[in-house]
Chains A and B, each alone.
Chain A
C-alpha cells in the first residue's frame, strides 16, 4: 500500500515532555498538511508544505508547535512542553498541487497525562 503513513500510531507522554510525530506522504504528492482533531470535532488545519517550503503556519496552535519537511519528502510535527490540552489525534495528509483532494493518514493519537 502506498498511502500516507504516520508514526507512531499512539503516543502517551507526561505533561512537559516533548513529542515528535512523523508523516510519510504519497510519493508523488508535493503538498503535505497537518491537522489536529479533538473528540467530537472535525479536523482542524494546522500547517502545510509545498515541497520543503512551509507556506502557511499561522494556524499552528502556539509556539510550542513546529513542523519541518527538510527534503520535501517526509515531515515531522513536534510539540514541546506538552500540556493536557494537546491530547488529540494528529492527522497528516498529502495532495498534488492546486487541489483540495487530500489523502489522509491514519493519524497519531496523543495522550498527555
Chain B
C-alpha cells in the first residue's frame, strides 16, 4: 500500500472547520483513501473513505485532488470531542497500515 504523509499535530478552534491534509503521491489506481481517528484509550473509529470523487457523510467530508496525490479531511464544525489522532491510510483491500497520524487538539 502507498505511504501517506500527515502533519504531526494541529490545533483548531471549537466551532470552526478543521482541515486535515494528507499526501499520498504514490497511491495506485485501485487504492482507496481511508480516514480513521482514535480518541484517547479507545479503538480506532472509521470516518470516511473515497477513491477519486469527493465524499461526505454525517461525520466529515473528504476532498481528493484530481491527480489523487493528496486529500483533505474536513470536520465542518469541530467540537472538543473531536480531539483525537487522525489517520490517513491508502488501502486497496483489508490491510490497514496505520502511520503516526495527526494529533488534532480542538481548543475552546
Contact = CB atoms under 8 A, between A and B. Distances in A.
Nearest to A101: B46
A42 interface: yes
A91 B43 contact: yes
B106 to A, nearest CB: 20
Q: How large is the interface on A (under 10, 10 to 19, 20 to 34, 35 or more residues)?
A: 20 to 34
A102 B98 contact: no
Contacts of B94: 31, 33, 48, 95, 99-100, 102
Secondary structure of the B contact surface, majority rule: loop
Q: How large is the interface on B (under 10, 10 to 19, 20 to 34, 35 or more residues)?
A: 20 to 34
Contacts of A104: 43-45
Given A45-B95, A48-B94, A102 B46 contact: yes
B17 interface: no
Interface stretch (B19-27, B59-67, B70-78, B85-93): B85-93
B88 to A, nearest CB: 11
Contacts of B101: 42
Contacts, number: 53
A94 B101 CA distance: 21
Contacts of A91: 43-44
Secondary structure of the A contact surface, majority rule: loop
Nearest 10 CB-CB pairs, A to B? A42-B98, A104-B43, A100-B91, A43-B98, A104-B44, A101-B46, A91-B43, A107-B43, A100-B34, A106-B43
27 contacts: A33-B94, A40-B100, A41-B100, A42-B99, A42-B100, A42-B101, A43-B44, A43-B96, A44-B98, A45-B95, A45-B96, A45-B97, A48-B94, A48-B95, A95-B94, A99-B94, A100-B49, A100-B89, A100-B91, A101-B34, A102-B96, A103-B46, A104-B43, A104-B45, A105-B43, A106-B42, A107-B42
Interface of B: 32, 34, 42-46, 49, 85, 87, 89, 91, 93-101
